[in-house]
Amino acid sequence: MRADRLVATLLLLQSKGRVTAAQLAGELETSVATARRDLEALSAAGIPVYPQAGRGGGWSLVGGARTDLSGLSASEAQALFLLVGPAAAISDEAKTALRKLVQALPKTFRAEAEAAAAATMIDTTRWGERARQRPQLVDQLQTAVVKQRKLRFEYTSGARERSTRLVEPWGLVDKDEVWYLIAGTEKGQRTFRVDRIAGPQLTDESFERPSDFELAEAWKSVVGEVEQKRSGTEAVVLIETKFVPILRDHFGLHCHVEEEFEDGTTTRSRVRVAAPTPLDIARTLAGWGGHVQVLEPDAVQAHLARIGAELVAGYAPADPAPDYRPRYSDNAASAGANTSAAKKAVQ
Q: Is 42 exposed, middle or buried (0-12, 13-18, 19+ CB in 10 A)?
A: buried
pLDDT at 174 over 70: yes
Phi, psi of 200 (to 5 degrees): -65, 140
Quick check: 66 and 49 in contact, CB under 8 A? no
- Chain centroid, CA 209 distance in Å: 23
Do 294 and 304 meet the contact criterion of CB atoms below 8 Å apart? Answer: yes
| Amino acid occupying residue 42 | L
Q: What is the mean pLDDT of residues 143-158?
A: 92
Q: Residue 183 and residue 161: Cα distance in Å, rounded?
A: 19
Note the residue count of the chain: 347
Q: What is the mean pLDDT of residues 270-293?
A: 94
332: buried, middle or exposed (CB in 10 Å: 19+, 13-18, 0-12)? Answer: middle
CB 24 within 8 A of CB 6: no
Q: Is the pLDDT of residue 195 over 50?
A: yes
Given a cut of 80, whether residue 324 has pLDDT beyond it is: no
pLDDT for the residue numbered 201? 94
Contact between 246 and 333 (Cβ < 8 Å): yes
The phi, psi pair for 326, rounded to 5°, reads: -65, 135
For the residues 194-221, what does the mean pLDDT come to?
92
Q: Do the beta carbons of residue 173 and residue 138 sit within 8 Å?
A: no
Is residue 186 a contact partner of residue 237, using CB atoms and an 8 Å limit?
Answer: no
For residue range 69-96, what is the model confidence (pLDDT) as tens digits?
Answer: 545 556 666 666 666 666 666 566 666 7
pTM: 0.57
Find how far residue 315's CA is from the centre of its chain: 43
SS3 282: helix
Specify whether the CB–CB gap between 58 and 23 falls below 8 A: yes
Q: Pick the more confident residue, 129 or 315.
A: 315
Mean pLDDT of the chain: 80
Domains in the chain, ordered, with CATH? 2-64 (1.10.10.10), 74-117 (no CATH), 137-225 (2.30.30.520), 233-316 (3.30.70)
Confidence of residue 286 (pLDDT cuts 50, 70, 90): very high
Looking only at the bridges linking them, the beta strands covering 266-275 and 233-240 are antiparallel
